[in-house]
Amino acid sequence: MKLTKFGHACVRLEKDGRRLVIDPGGLTDPEALDGADAVLVTHEHFDHFSQETLRRAAAARPDLRIWTNSSVAKQLDGIGTQVVTTGDGDAFTVAGFDIQVHGTWHAVIHPDIPRIPNIGFMVDETLFHPGDALTVPDGPVGTLLLPVHAPWSTVGDLIDYVREVHPRDAYAVHDGALNDIGTAMVAGFLGERGPGLRTPYRRLTPGASVLID
């Protein structure tokens, strides 16, 4: 499976000529959806979900399917059968990828800020994108897409999360607000110089790809 990083929290997965895109939001170049067969959206925040971009993609490709939670699905009203609502515990196959859904809520930012729904996606029983939450799936994770910078977490939270999930590899996502200094600081804690994570940590630049299994 080929993993390509796009802006901020968006990635594209490819295998056997099929393309699956996760979280093409307002900080993502719309070209991430070129040739996409299916889209997964974790939640409604603008950096993960762009209604305009998805409506345009659905109109251009009538066989495109978008899987997401009920909150996002309501905002895509009118697209019809191209949008499928899913939630925690569901499992389905789309564009040749086997998907399992984990989690229910966005991480707490502050008690005074209402929480919104958030779901994470496990792809082919190996790659997990948690969206905006530190959800721990109920099974082994090969590749964890780690949200490394957000108003709802600390580096300490990330260290504990990686230790608990214990993936084979971790790749940075949710890093669009970091400059070069911030990126290096995070890598210092989560990489080989960090406090014994035992998980290789890597950051792909936008547009870069890597093969995973």
Coil, strand or helix at 70: helix
* Domains by residue range for the chain, with CATH: 2-211 (3.60.15.10)
pLDDT tens digits for range 52-87 = 999 999 999 999 999 999 999 999 998 888 999 999
Q: How many CB atoms lie within 10 A of CB 197?
A: 18
User: Which residues are bridge partners to 143 per DSSP?
Assistant: 127, 169
- pLDDT by residue, tens only, the chain of 213 residues: 999 999 899 999 999 999 999 999 999 999 999 999 999 999 999 999 999 999 999 999 999 999 999 999 999 998 888 999 999 999 999 999 999 999 999 999 999 999 999 999 999 999 999 999 999 999 999 999 999 999 999 999 999 999 999 999 999 999 999 999 999 999 999 987 788 788 999 999 999 999 998
Q: Which residues in 106-143 are b (16+ Cβ under 10 Å) and which e?
A: bbeeeeeeeeebbbbbbbbebbbbbbbbbbbbeeebbb
